[in-house]
Amino acid sequence: MVDLLMSDPRFAATTFVVIDFEGLTPAGRPAEPIEVAALALRPQGGRLVEIGRFEELIQPPADVPVTTRDVQLKGITQTMLSSTAPAAEVMARLDGRLTTPPYRLVAHHASTEAGIIARQAEHCPRLAAIPLLDTVRLAKTAVPGLSSYRLDSLLAYYGIPQPAGRHRAMPDVEATAQVLIRLLEDGERNSRWRTLLELDMAAGLQPKQPPAAPESEQPCLF
């Protein structure tokens, strides 16, 4: 229960969307998403309640292969991605679900998700404009002094079983959502926050700006 946060009108009116991408990291290029999952949590009856979820695989660009290491870590193969939609279509579908603001995106190491979203901003303008909360920053404020703030470490700290399919997007989202709820409770209990504004001050990130479009060549006048 997070009674003080629930009594804050801004917190009570906000839907928290826990989001995670799995991606490929080609040499010399930004990460390319191959899976996205999102879990929407709404304050209801003194707790955060799931009100919706979204999960899709994403076809990477043709010149970005799935490596053996990717398969071993994530369990996603080239064959699984061969008939999926490209990022532009998947991100547009996710964006179309965001019809009842205000929102906060929540992610573990949220700057990674913010970067992927910014590079897809033309396909998901609503998603790309939403501020984020980073559960790593929340954890460092709510439970200072831990030796590690990796997601697995926080699951172990709270005694939350590691989900089957760890390193797939939805299992990681579900795990992050469980950690989020425990962090909110601990932070409130320890007087770290009582309002959404204080959460933003402790762990908020503004959306990243989309990459600038290359300047078009100007005709030579001289």
pLDDT at 184: 98
For every residue of 26-62, which 3-state class applies, written as one string?
CCCCCCEEEEEEEEEEEEECCEEEEEEEEEEECECCC
Q: Render pLDDT for 174-194 as a digit per residue (tens, 0 to 9).
A: 999 999 999 999 999 999 999
Q: How far lies 38's CA from each of 47, 148, 214, in Å?
A: 19, 25, 31
pTM of the model: 0.93
pLDDT at 211: 79
CATH of 3-205, one of 1.20.1440.120, 3.30.420.10, 3.10.20.30, 3.40.50.720: 3.30.420.10
pLDDT at 215: 57
How large is the average pLDDT for residues 100-106? 98
Coil vs helix vs strand at 125: helix
The answer to whether 105 and 205 have CB atoms below 8 angstroms apart is no
Instruction: Calculate what percentage of the chain has a pLDDT beyond 70.
Output: 95
CA distance 176 to 164: 14
